[in-house]
Amino acid sequence: MSAGLYAGLLRPALFALPADTSARLGEAALRAWPAWALADRLQRLSAPQPGLAMRFAGVEIASPVGLAAGFDKNADMLPALSRLGFGFLCVGTIMPKPRVGNPRPRLLRLPQQEGLRDSMGLPGKGCAHVVDRLRAYRRGGGRVPVFANVGGFTADELAETANRVAPHADAIELSLICPNIRRDGAPFDALGRLKAVLPRLDIDPGRVVLRVPNDVADEPDRFAALIEAAVAGGLGGLKVGGGSTTPEPRLASGAGTLHGAPIRRRALHNVALAGHVARGRIPIKGNGGIGSAADVRRMLAAGAVCVDLYTAFVYRGWTLARDIARELAADAPPG
Protein backbone atom coordinates (compact mmCIF):
# COMPACT_ATOMS: atom_id res chain seq x y z
CA MET A 1 0.00 0.00 0.00
CA SER A 2 1.53 3.30 -1.10
CA ALA A 3 1.65 6.35 1.16
CA GLY A 4 -0.55 8.20 -1.34
CA LEU A 5 -3.22 5.49 -1.35
CA TYR A 6 -3.32 5.48 2.43
CA ALA A 7 -3.51 9.29 2.71
CA GLY A 8 -5.99 9.69 -0.12
CA LEU A 9 -8.35 6.78 0.44
CA LEU A 10 -7.91 4.66 3.54
CA ARG A 11 -7.14 7.31 6.14
CA PRO A 12 -10.16 9.51 5.28
CA ALA A 13 -12.41 6.45 5.57
CA LEU A 14 -10.92 5.44 8.92
CA PHE A 15 -10.96 9.00 10.25
CA ALA A 16 -14.65 9.27 9.43
CA LEU A 17 -15.21 6.73 12.21
CA PRO A 18 -14.64 7.15 15.94
CA ALA A 19 -10.98 6.62 16.81
CA ASP A 20 -11.70 3.57 18.98
CA THR A 21 -13.60 1.93 16.09
CA SER A 22 -10.85 2.71 13.57
CA ALA A 23 -8.24 1.24 15.88
CA ARG A 24 -10.16 -2.02 16.14
CA LEU A 25 -10.60 -2.18 12.34
CA GLY A 26 -6.90 -1.60 11.76
CA GLU A 27 -6.00 -4.33 14.22
CA ALA A 28 -8.42 -6.73 12.55
CA ALA A 29 -6.91 -5.99 9.14
CA LEU A 30 -3.39 -6.70 10.36
CA ARG A 31 -4.54 -9.99 11.91
CA ALA A 32 -6.29 -11.10 8.72
CA TRP A 33 -4.87 -13.12 5.83
CA PRO A 34 -5.32 -10.33 3.21
CA ALA A 35 -3.06 -8.07 5.26
CA TRP A 36 -0.58 -10.93 5.50
CA ALA A 37 -0.58 -11.27 1.74
CA LEU A 38 -0.12 -7.52 1.28
CA ALA A 39 2.71 -7.53 3.80
CA ASP A 40 4.42 -10.37 1.93
CA ARG A 41 4.31 -8.33 -1.28
CA LEU A 42 5.79 -5.37 0.59
CA GLN A 43 8.58 -7.46 2.05
CA ARG A 44 10.82 -6.92 -0.99
CA LEU A 45 10.34 -3.18 -0.61
CA SER A 46 10.95 -3.38 3.12
CA ALA A 47 14.32 -5.12 2.98
CA PRO A 48 16.86 -3.73 5.46
CA GLN A 49 18.58 -0.59 4.24
CA PRO A 50 22.40 -0.59 4.23
CA GLY A 51 24.31 1.29 6.90
CA LEU A 52 21.53 1.42 9.53
CA ALA A 53 22.20 -1.73 11.57
CA MET A 54 23.07 -1.23 15.24
CA ARG A 55 22.67 -2.71 18.73
CA PHE A 56 20.32 -1.58 21.47
CA ALA A 57 19.90 -3.39 24.78
CA GLY A 58 22.04 -6.21 23.46
CA VAL A 59 19.80 -6.72 20.42
CA GLU A 60 20.91 -6.41 16.80
CA ILE A 61 18.43 -4.21 14.94
CA ALA A 62 18.45 -3.50 11.21
CA SER A 63 17.11 0.06 11.52
CA PRO A 64 16.96 2.59 14.37
CA VAL A 65 13.21 3.08 13.75
CA GLY A 66 10.85 0.79 15.66
CA LEU A 67 7.16 0.52 16.45
CA ALA A 68 6.33 1.67 19.99
CA ALA A 69 4.36 -0.29 22.54
CA GLY A 70 0.63 0.34 22.53
CA PHE A 71 -0.17 -0.48 18.92
CA ASP A 72 0.13 -4.27 19.21
CA LYS A 73 -0.80 -4.80 22.84
CA ASN A 74 -1.20 -8.57 22.58
CA ALA A 75 1.43 -9.57 19.97
CA ASP A 76 -1.43 -10.54 17.64
CA MET A 77 -0.16 -8.60 14.60
CA LEU A 78 3.54 -9.50 14.55
CA PRO A 79 3.50 -11.47 11.25
CA ALA A 80 2.22 -8.45 9.30
CA LEU A 81 4.00 -5.74 11.29
CA SER A 82 7.34 -7.50 10.90
CA ARG A 83 7.11 -6.96 7.12
CA LEU A 84 6.56 -3.21 7.17
CA GLY A 85 10.16 -2.04 7.50
CA PHE A 86 10.52 -1.53 11.25
CA GLY A 87 13.87 -2.30 12.82
CA PHE A 88 12.18 -3.65 15.93
CA LEU A 89 8.68 -4.07 17.34
CA CYS A 90 7.49 -3.32 20.86
CA VAL A 91 4.45 -5.25 22.08
CA GLY A 92 2.36 -4.58 25.17
CA THR A 93 1.98 -3.21 27.73
CA ILE A 94 1.65 -6.82 28.96
CA MET A 95 -0.11 -7.25 32.28
CA PRO A 96 -0.18 -10.44 34.39
CA LYS A 97 -3.88 -11.11 33.70
CA PRO A 98 -6.44 -9.98 31.11
CA ARG A 99 -7.84 -6.47 31.58
CA VAL A 100 -10.68 -4.61 29.86
CA GLY A 101 -9.09 -1.19 30.40
CA ASN A 102 -10.90 2.11 30.75
CA PRO A 103 -14.40 2.73 29.31
CA ARG A 104 -14.78 4.11 25.78
CA PRO A 105 -14.23 6.57 24.29
CA ARG A 106 -10.61 6.24 25.32
CA LEU A 107 -8.85 7.37 22.14
CA LEU A 108 -9.10 10.84 20.59
CA ARG A 109 -7.55 12.20 17.40
CA LEU A 110 -6.16 15.72 17.06
CA PRO A 111 -5.89 15.81 13.23
CA GLN A 112 -4.69 19.37 12.77
CA GLN A 113 -1.69 18.71 15.02
CA GLU A 114 -1.20 15.04 14.05
CA GLY A 115 -1.67 14.13 17.68
CA LEU A 116 -3.58 11.61 19.77
CA ARG A 117 -4.88 11.53 23.31
CA ASP A 118 -5.43 8.19 24.95
CA SER A 119 -6.81 6.86 28.16
CA MET A 120 -6.60 3.16 27.44
CA GLY A 121 -6.08 1.95 31.00
CA LEU A 122 -3.94 -1.08 30.08
CA PRO A 123 -6.42 -3.28 28.18
CA GLY A 124 -5.03 -6.60 27.06
CA LYS A 125 -5.35 -10.36 26.94
CA GLY A 126 -2.75 -11.00 29.63
CA CYS A 127 0.67 -12.54 29.89
CA ALA A 128 -0.26 -16.13 28.96
CA HIS A 129 -1.79 -15.04 25.66
CA VAL A 130 1.20 -12.88 24.72
CA VAL A 131 3.67 -15.66 25.53
CA ASP A 132 1.69 -17.97 23.25
CA ARG A 133 1.76 -15.44 20.41
CA LEU A 134 5.49 -14.78 20.83
CA ARG A 135 6.16 -18.50 20.65
CA ALA A 136 4.12 -18.72 17.43
CA TYR A 137 6.01 -15.76 15.96
CA ARG A 138 9.35 -17.44 16.59
CA ARG A 139 8.12 -20.79 15.29
CA GLY A 140 7.00 -18.99 12.14
CA GLY A 141 10.51 -17.65 11.58
CA GLY A 142 9.89 -14.09 12.76
CA ARG A 143 13.03 -12.12 12.01
CA VAL A 144 12.34 -8.63 13.35
CA PRO A 145 13.38 -8.35 17.02
CA VAL A 146 10.59 -7.99 19.59
CA PHE A 147 10.82 -5.89 22.75
CA ALA A 148 8.15 -6.86 25.27
CA ASN A 149 6.83 -3.94 27.29
CA VAL A 150 5.62 -5.29 30.64
CA GLY A 151 3.70 -3.76 33.53
CA GLY A 152 2.23 -4.55 36.91
CA PHE A 153 0.66 -2.82 39.89
CA THR A 154 3.33 -4.06 42.31
CA ALA A 155 7.02 -4.86 42.08
CA ASP A 156 6.20 -8.55 42.39
CA GLU A 157 3.70 -8.43 39.53
CA LEU A 158 6.06 -6.49 37.29
CA ALA A 159 8.99 -8.81 37.93
CA GLU A 160 6.90 -11.97 37.58
CA THR A 161 5.49 -10.85 34.22
CA ALA A 162 8.92 -9.83 32.95
CA ASN A 163 10.41 -13.19 33.96
CA ARG A 164 7.60 -15.13 32.23
CA VAL A 165 7.89 -13.17 28.98
CA ALA A 166 11.68 -12.78 28.77
CA PRO A 167 12.48 -16.24 27.30
CA HIS A 168 10.21 -15.49 24.34
CA ALA A 169 11.28 -11.90 23.53
CA ASP A 170 14.56 -10.34 22.48
CA ALA A 171 14.46 -7.75 25.27
CA ILE A 172 12.17 -6.51 28.04
CA GLU A 173 10.93 -2.95 28.49
CA LEU A 174 9.83 -2.15 32.04
CA SER A 175 6.84 0.17 32.48
CA LEU A 176 6.91 1.14 36.12
CA ILE A 177 3.49 2.81 35.96
CA CYS A 178 0.76 3.64 33.46
CA PRO A 179 -0.13 7.36 33.29
CA ASN A 180 -3.78 6.53 32.58
CA ILE A 181 -4.41 4.55 35.76
CA ARG A 182 -5.80 6.69 38.55
CA ARG A 183 -3.77 6.82 41.73
CA ASP A 184 -4.40 8.71 44.91
CA GLY A 185 -2.13 10.08 47.59
CA ALA A 186 1.60 10.78 47.28
CA PRO A 187 3.38 10.93 43.91
CA PHE A 188 4.43 7.59 42.52
CA ASP A 189 7.89 6.52 43.72
CA ALA A 190 9.47 5.42 40.44
CA LEU A 191 12.92 5.03 41.96
CA GLY A 192 11.61 2.88 44.80
CA ARG A 193 9.68 0.68 42.36
CA LEU A 194 12.74 0.20 40.14
CA LYS A 195 14.95 -0.72 43.10
CA ALA A 196 12.32 -3.21 44.28
CA VAL A 197 11.94 -4.82 40.85
CA LEU A 198 15.58 -5.27 39.84
CA PRO A 199 16.52 -7.90 42.47
CA ARG A 200 13.45 -9.93 41.47
CA LEU A 201 14.39 -10.21 37.78
CA ASP A 202 15.82 -13.48 36.47
CA ILE A 203 16.98 -11.75 33.29
CA ASP A 204 20.31 -10.48 32.03
CA PRO A 205 19.98 -6.78 32.95
CA GLY A 206 21.65 -5.88 29.67
CA ARG A 207 18.45 -7.05 27.94
CA VAL A 208 16.24 -4.75 30.05
CA VAL A 209 15.11 -1.28 28.98
CA LEU A 210 13.63 1.12 31.52
CA ARG A 211 10.71 3.21 30.28
CA VAL A 212 11.21 6.45 32.21
CA PRO A 213 7.81 7.76 33.43
CA ASN A 214 6.98 10.98 31.62
CA ASP A 215 6.36 13.06 34.73
CA VAL A 216 9.74 12.17 36.25
CA ALA A 217 11.49 14.30 33.63
CA ASP A 218 9.77 17.37 35.12
CA GLU A 219 11.83 16.96 38.30
CA PRO A 220 15.54 16.94 37.40
CA ASP A 221 16.71 15.40 40.68
CA ARG A 222 14.25 12.47 40.44
CA PHE A 223 15.09 12.08 36.75
CA ALA A 224 18.83 11.92 37.43
CA ALA A 225 18.39 9.52 40.35
CA LEU A 226 16.33 7.12 38.22
CA ILE A 227 18.90 7.15 35.42
CA GLU A 228 21.74 6.58 37.89
CA ALA A 229 19.86 3.58 39.32
CA ALA A 230 19.43 2.17 35.81
CA VAL A 231 23.14 2.60 35.13
CA ALA A 232 24.09 1.04 38.47
CA GLY A 233 21.77 -1.90 37.74
CA GLY A 234 23.53 -2.58 34.43
CA LEU A 235 20.37 -2.06 32.37
CA GLY A 236 20.64 -2.18 28.61
CA GLY A 237 18.83 1.04 27.81
CA LEU A 238 16.36 3.78 28.62
CA LYS A 239 13.19 4.80 26.80
CA VAL A 240 12.60 8.53 27.18
CA GLY A 241 9.55 10.33 25.80
CA GLY A 242 7.55 13.49 26.22
CA GLY A 243 3.93 12.55 26.81
CA SER A 244 1.85 14.44 29.33
CA THR A 245 -1.48 13.61 30.96
CA THR A 246 -4.05 16.39 31.23
CA PRO A 247 -7.83 16.73 31.61
CA GLU A 248 -9.82 15.79 28.50
CA PRO A 249 -13.62 15.83 28.82
CA ARG A 250 -14.10 14.09 25.46
CA LEU A 251 -12.62 10.90 26.91
CA ALA A 252 -14.74 8.77 29.21
CA SER A 253 -12.16 8.85 31.99
CA GLY A 254 -11.95 12.65 31.85
CA ALA A 255 -8.20 12.74 31.18
CA GLY A 256 -5.73 11.43 28.63
CA THR A 257 -2.07 11.30 27.66
CA LEU A 258 -0.96 13.40 24.70
CA HIS A 259 1.08 11.76 21.92
CA GLY A 260 2.43 12.65 18.49
CA ALA A 261 3.70 15.86 16.94
CA PRO A 262 2.48 18.13 19.79
CA ILE A 263 4.98 16.54 22.21
CA ARG A 264 7.98 16.54 19.86
CA ARG A 265 9.75 19.50 21.46
CA ARG A 266 9.25 18.17 24.98
CA ALA A 267 10.49 14.73 23.97
CA LEU A 268 13.65 16.18 22.42
CA HIS A 269 14.27 18.19 25.58
CA ASN A 270 13.85 15.11 27.78
CA VAL A 271 16.15 12.99 25.61
CA ALA A 272 18.82 15.70 25.69
CA LEU A 273 18.48 15.93 29.47
CA ALA A 274 18.76 12.15 29.80
CA GLY A 275 21.84 12.15 27.59
CA HIS A 276 23.45 14.83 29.77
CA VAL A 277 22.88 12.70 32.87
CA ALA A 278 23.79 9.36 31.27
CA ARG A 279 27.02 10.62 29.67
CA GLY A 280 27.17 7.65 27.33
CA ARG A 281 26.91 5.05 30.10
CA ILE A 282 23.53 3.72 28.95
CA PRO A 283 21.93 4.03 25.49
CA ILE A 284 18.69 5.94 25.03
CA LYS A 285 15.65 5.22 22.85
CA GLY A 286 13.71 8.37 22.05
CA ASN A 287 9.94 8.51 21.65
CA GLY A 288 7.51 11.31 20.92
CA GLY A 289 6.61 13.19 17.75
CA ILE A 290 8.62 11.02 15.35
CA GLY A 291 7.07 11.27 11.90
CA SER A 292 9.92 11.73 9.42
CA ALA A 293 13.60 11.10 8.83
CA ALA A 294 14.26 14.69 9.92
CA ASP A 295 12.57 13.95 13.26
CA VAL A 296 14.76 10.87 13.69
CA ARG A 297 17.89 12.89 12.93
CA ARG A 298 16.94 15.49 15.53
CA MET A 299 16.30 12.79 18.13
CA LEU A 300 19.64 11.12 17.41
CA ALA A 301 21.38 14.49 17.62
CA ALA A 302 19.74 15.05 21.02
CA GLY A 303 21.32 11.86 22.36
CA ALA A 304 19.16 8.90 21.35
CA VAL A 305 20.62 5.91 19.51
CA CYS A 306 17.24 4.73 18.17
CA VAL A 307 13.57 5.75 18.26
CA ASP A 308 10.13 4.22 18.24
CA LEU A 309 6.87 5.69 16.98
CA TYR A 310 3.14 5.02 17.02
CA THR A 311 1.04 8.12 16.31
CA ALA A 312 2.69 8.92 12.98
CA PHE A 313 2.03 5.32 11.89
CA VAL A 314 -1.68 6.09 12.29
CA TYR A 315 -1.49 9.39 10.40
CA ARG A 316 0.99 8.54 7.64
CA GLY A 317 0.40 4.89 6.92
CA TRP A 318 2.06 1.53 6.73
CA THR A 319 4.98 2.58 4.49
CA LEU A 320 6.28 5.10 7.03
CA ALA A 321 9.07 3.04 8.61
CA ARG A 322 10.34 1.91 5.21
CA ASP A 323 10.26 5.47 3.85
CA ILE A 324 12.18 6.84 6.84
CA ALA A 325 14.77 4.04 6.64
CA ARG A 326 15.38 4.74 2.96
CA GLU A 327 16.02 8.41 3.62
CA LEU A 328 18.28 7.68 6.57
CA ALA A 329 20.21 5.13 4.52
CA ALA A 330 20.93 7.86 1.94
CA ASP A 331 22.77 9.71 4.74
CA ALA A 332 24.80 6.69 5.85
CA PRO A 333 28.47 6.54 4.76
CA PRO A 334 29.21 3.88 2.13
CA GLY A 335 30.77 0.59 3.10
Q: How confident is the model at residue 140 (pLDDT cuts 50, 70, 90)?
A: confident
Instruction: Give the number of domains in the chain.
Output: 1
- pLDDT value for 34: 57
Range of the domain at 103: 3-331
84-108 mean pLDDT: 93
Candidate from 32-46, 120-134, 192-206, 284-298 with smallest mean pLDDT: 32-46
Q: Is the pLDDT of residue 168 over 80?
A: yes
Q: Is the pLDDT of residue 149 over 90?
A: yes
Average pLDDT of every residue of the chain: 88
143-171 mean pLDDT: 95
Return the HEC string of the chain.
CCHHHHHHHHHHHHHCCCHHHHHHHHHHHHHCHHHHHHHHHHHCCCCCCCCCCEEECCEEECCCEEEEEEEECCCCCHHHHCCCCCCCEEEEEECCCCECCCCCCCEEEEHHHCEEEECCCCCECCHHHHHHHHHHHHHCCCCCCEEEEECCCCHHHHHHHHHHHHHHCCEEEEECCCCCCCCCCCCCCHHHHHHHHHHHCCCCHHHEEEECCHHHHHCHHHHHHHHHHHHHCCCCEEEECCCEEEECCCCCCCEEEEEEHHHHHHHHHHHHHHHHHHCCCCCEEEECCCCCHHHHHHHHHHCCCEEEECHHHHHHCCCHHHHHHHHHHHHCCCC
CATH number of domain containing 72? 3.20.20.70
| Model confidence pLDDT, tens digit, residues 288-321 | 999 999 999 999 999 999 999 999 988 888 889 9
Candidate from 62-66, 81-85, 89-93 with smallest mean pLDDT: 81-85
- pLDDT value for 17: 76
Rounded CA gap, 85 and 304, in Å?
Answer: 20
Q: Is the pLDDT of residue 241 over 90?
A: yes
Q: Is the pLDDT of residue 185 over 70?
A: no
pTM recorded for the entire structure: 0.91
| Model confidence pLDDT, tens digit, residues 33-82 | 555 556 556 555 556 677 899 999 999 999 999 999 999 999 999 988 98
- pLDDT value for 179: 63
